[in-house]
Chain A
């Protein structure tokens, strides 16, 4: 649909003359040439006229094309205040912008989303003496530039429009600042590098995207046939297939020793690398889970990387000098300082029907020996039966009832009198080893009532998929995390000893952080770490929603 951009045409943008002359000459190449060669003075006069016309269009033209109209005030302010060169009708700027838009795929964006071909056509078809036409082209280029910069920098969608589980603050592009910055940038490449998401997570995904595109160009990989689980040392005709598959992504030797069908230690090591990158049990056994993950086609992996990059555009530009980041899809928490991951641990997150929400906030205090107040919904739905049949059992686990300001023994209440719609109590569990929140909780008070906490059910951390909670996040090494967060939060005098002693008292103790610590709850099914490019299952089906939105299918059929 779009006209292909002929590079040779624009590269004729003469480098002979000083800044400004070039574009007009390029345009001249597609219209009858002027009777005499344009002098430097003539070119400069034309450029000044183009500027005056651009300002006049923005100030007076009642109906401008929509992309310009929508940015009229910002463009007008920029062109009126800023003298000097035009933004686009100079040097090889049009070429650079066209190259950037054509290369949008490197950032996981779609080149077809931008009117590259049309911009070129417009440039080629406009007579270089048509000053008003050239002014309009300058403005069209500015509009396309702002559109692309916004897509690159803050994303194509409002997170909450794509998925109601995303509560990230909407980010918008500061268009005036972008125009100012691009006017001062040495090259457009410099500008875009500065305005793409700044985090190293984004940069590493960008690298992964290029790598997986190369895999795709080389034909991706063939599926490995399913079959019985393959254990180290076994012989199987599928060994050759697995070798070839993992030669692409996990440095397996594609030939193996003498082309044997034995599952040898070298291949076992490659399988373990693959398992680690996909959040599978790292046991070297090629079972159905590993095979299904191996057989996900490269196109899907590329898509997952692109979706993760889009989500990074939604993230706050500054994550904080120190912060905690939870990746819900990765069942993983990391504490980062100065860009280095200092602590990493497993977490348990919400079940698909009680999804842990995505948002950023600040950890403000830590509570040792917390009470657990049973949420009203859970109290009636899950505990009423037990209250009626065995209140003593619940009482032995430390539960008590609160009515107004009264604390009541569960055994003193006739629970048959209460039920849904008539339950004037709050159920609360006292601190102690049986407490559902364990020994500590980490609070970043928010409208979703989500926080991090310890848990007495440790066994779940051994599972490779960990979506079991009602929405809160259970952490696997809570006391270590508490110790480090207190340091990071500027609270002194809270070493491990004191934490342990305080826990032993079983007395509820709140410790406020002197400096609140940023926490980012994210949902990323692809990321890069020291093990390579990681992929995880789309447990909440949020990738599917974003993908549908990108294809214009936001409306449910």
Chain B
């Protein structure tokens, strides 16, 4: 007879019980959301254009609209979302611990975050990357012109290392002025203590909007790192992963095939209905989910223009975030 030590028994029992808990949770995120009548969505504590509360206390942004899209798909109502602001350090634990159903919080998809945690990135909703902002009067068009510059940076992330490696590789000198808080870095830059400010380009756009004279500052086109941002869910609920992933793909495909907020109930109603009927049942959604989502928040292009586009304080050009058919790299598998 095999003798099993008490310790091993304990270990096995714990493993079993964990599996059991996870399986229960895994079977049910969609059911939980339906039963609750609300989606619990993790967002940032306030990042311009992505997720922030406006003056009236309403959450707005690119990521917020994604939360709404998922709520529309399941519950048919964009308002049925509870937003949970999460800090950069807490966000993944909060998701893993079941505090939120979904994390739409400008999170970069990396190997360690994906394979290193019980989490799943469902796709890329925004291709971000580290860039540089400089005073327009400098006339700079590339960071390669910033030899000898003093650069403001927020410490505690890989931002300074990326920039420092970039300049070293190019054989250029740069010194860094690191700050723990964004506001302090922005102020130092605004006061002329730095020649440039480096951060992810989306964050730079938000910072620029908060400067006294946004138009006097230019975000350079060059991107020195890959920061693909995307929604994250727990990796133990295949049904939920599929649902969230295909809501994202649906938003991307909708733009590519010409489904828009304004036409989805009219000129394009038949196409939206056909695709919704095809894709709804396998996802556990109703047959009109796609029309409801696009009718509620628009396609990914409309979400971009509303929150980040040239007409917003963010003033971001679409760039590589345009669909692959229009010179960008946004590409989703087909809704078939």
Which residues on A are within 8 Å of B, measured CB to CB?
Answer: 1-3, 63, 65-67, 69-70, 110, 113-115, 117-119, 121-122, 140, 143-144, 147, 156, 551-555, 557
Contact = CB atoms under 8 A, between A and B. Distances in A.
A119 B222 CA distance: 24
Contacts of A551: 221
Contact of A147 (B139, B216, B223, B224): B139
B42 interface: no
Interface in B215-242: 215-216, 218, 220-224, 226
A283 B196 CA distance: 58
A67 B136 contact: no
A118 B136 contact: yes
A552 B221 contact: yes
Interface of B: 134-142, 146-150, 192-193, 195-196, 215-216, 218, 220-224, 226, 315, 320, 329
Nearest to A148: B139
A555 B148 contact: no
A70 B147 contact: yes
A144 B215 contact: no
Given A69-B148, A552-B220, A552-B221, A557 B137 contact: no
Given A65-B137, A66-B146, A554 B215 contact: no
Given A113-B141, A156-B141, A557-B226, 17 more contacts: A1-B315, A2-B215, A3-B215, A63-B150, A65-B195, A66-B138, A66-B149, A67-B138, A70-B147, A110-B141, A118-B137, A122-B137, A140-B137, A144-B139, A552-B141, A554-B222, A557-B329
Given A555-B222, A557-B329, A115 B138 contact: yes
A485 B224 CA distance: 49
A115 B142 CA distance: 14
A119 B135 CA distance: 12
Contacts of A3: 215
Contact of A118 (B195, B216, B223): B216
Contacts of B147: 70
A1 B219 CA distance: 11
Nearest to B213: A121
Nearest to B228: A557
Most chain-B CB neighbours within 10 Å: which of A66, A113, A114?
A66
Contact of B136 (A2, A69, A110): A2
A147 B136 CA distance: 14
Contacts of B139: 67, 113-115, 118, 143-144, 147
A140 B147 CA distance: 17
Nearest to A552: B221
A119 B137 contact: yes
A554 B221 CA distance: 10
A414 B147 CA distance: 61
B135 A65 contact: yes
A70 B320 contact: no
Contacts of B195: 65-66, 69
Contacts of A554: 222
A1 B220 CA distance: 13
Contacts of A117: 136
Nearest to A101: B139
10 tightest Cβ-Cβ pairs between the two chains A and B: A552-B221, A115-B139, A118-B137, A66-B195, A552-B222, A115-B137, A113-B141, A118-B136, A114-B139, A67-B138
A1 B320 contact: no
B148 A66 contact: yes
Contacts of B223: 552-553, 555
Given A1-B215, A65-B195, A557-B226, A115 B136 contact: yes
Contacts of A70: 147-148
B228 to A, nearest CB: 10
Contacts of B216: 118, 121
A554 B141 CA distance: 13
Nearest to B136: A118
B205 to A, nearest CB: 13
A92 B156 CA distance: 50
Contacts of B215: 1-3
Contacts of A143: 139
7 contacts: A2-B136, A66-B138, A69-B195, A115-B138, A118-B137, A551-B221, A554-B222
B217 to A, nearest CB: 9
Contacts of A555: 222-224
A506 B318 CA distance: 66
Contacts of A140: 137
B56 to A, nearest CB: 30
Nearest to B144: A161
B153 to A, nearest CB: 16
A555 B142 CA distance: 12
A65 B136 contact: no
B162 to A, nearest CB: 11
B138 A65 contact: yes
Contacts of B141: 110, 113, 156, 552
Contacts of A156: 141
B191 to A, nearest CB: 11
Contacts of B137: 65, 67, 115, 118-119, 122, 140
B44 to A, nearest CB: 25
Contacts of B149: 66
Contacts of A67: 137-140
